[in-house]
């Protein structure tokens, strides 16, 4: 028997936790939630900041300053970002030292994106922590799962990393891959969906 769905009314919050806590916890968040305006305010401010970042030429120092404003915390002076960069939220991004991100990457970070030290991200990569309710009558509701990227990870051009994925230290994600499941440390993974292709253990510092 096929599952049936019926329209449901906008759920009222059933907890005294604020919408940011519920969002990070992976709970279903309806855009008609009375608190959703608080998320929209951040999205609009982030849109303003990313528009400034992506307009004209900026020095590396100014790019770091604008990126720090977008994520709400100061990044290390070793951070190197090549605009344009696109992000829907911003405040749930954390990056380590010696972080490099090339142009035209998109982050959707409401669920949290944590990036370790010495991570390289190639152009046109997408990191998304957000998904929509599978119920077609409640598709405007969303839920989030975090993305965690370990130290010394290299993400090739055009990679998409889906909600809830962790990538272990030292691993490489091949160009054009779609990563739907966790990737262990010290491997090359690739494909759609991405699978482990080979080990890269044994290298010395």
> What amino acid positions are annotated as catalytic residues?
132
Distance CA(104)–CA(85), nearest Å, equals: 5
Those residues with Cβ within 8 angstroms of residue 153's Cβ, 6 or more apart along the chain or in another chain: 116, 119, 120, 167, 168, 169, 170, 171, 172, 173
Distance CA(91)–CA(23), nearest Å, equals: 13
Those residues with Cβ within 8 angstroms of residue 174's Cβ, 6 or more apart along the chain or in another chain: 156, 159, 188, 189, 190, 191, 194, 197
Distance CA(120)–CA(16), nearest Å, equals: 40
Phi, psi of 173 (to 5 degrees): -110, 120
Inter-residue contact 93 to 113 (CB < 8 Å): yes
- Whether residue 192 is preceded by a cis peptide bond, meaning omega within 30 degrees of 0, is no
């Amino acid at each position: 028997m096929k599952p049936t769905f019926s329209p449901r009314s906008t759920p009222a919050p059933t907890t005294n936790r604020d919408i940011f806590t519920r969002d990070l916890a992976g709970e279903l968040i309806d855009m008609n939630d009375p608190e959703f305006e608080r998320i929209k305010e951040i999205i609009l401010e982030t849109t303003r900041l990313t528009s400034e970042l992506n307009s004209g030429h900026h020095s590396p120092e100014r790019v770091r300053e604008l990126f720090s404003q977008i994520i709400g915390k100061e990044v290390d002076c070793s951070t190197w970002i090549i605009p344009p960069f696109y992000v829907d939220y911003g405040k749930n991004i954390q990056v380590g030292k010696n972080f490099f991100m090339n142009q035209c990457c998109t982050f959707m970070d409401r669920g949290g994106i944590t990036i370790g030290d010495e991570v390289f991200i190639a152009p046109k990569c997408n990191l998304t922590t957000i998904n929509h309710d599978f119920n077609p009558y409640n598709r405007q509701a969303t839920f989030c799962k975090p993305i965690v990227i370990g130290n010394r990870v290299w993400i090739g051009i055009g990679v998409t990393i889906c909600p809830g994925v962790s990538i272990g230290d030292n691993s490489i994600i091949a160009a054009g891959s779609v990563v739907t499941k966790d990737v262990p440390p010290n491997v090359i993974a690739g494909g759609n969906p991405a699978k482990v292709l080979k080990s890269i253990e044994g290298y010395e510092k």
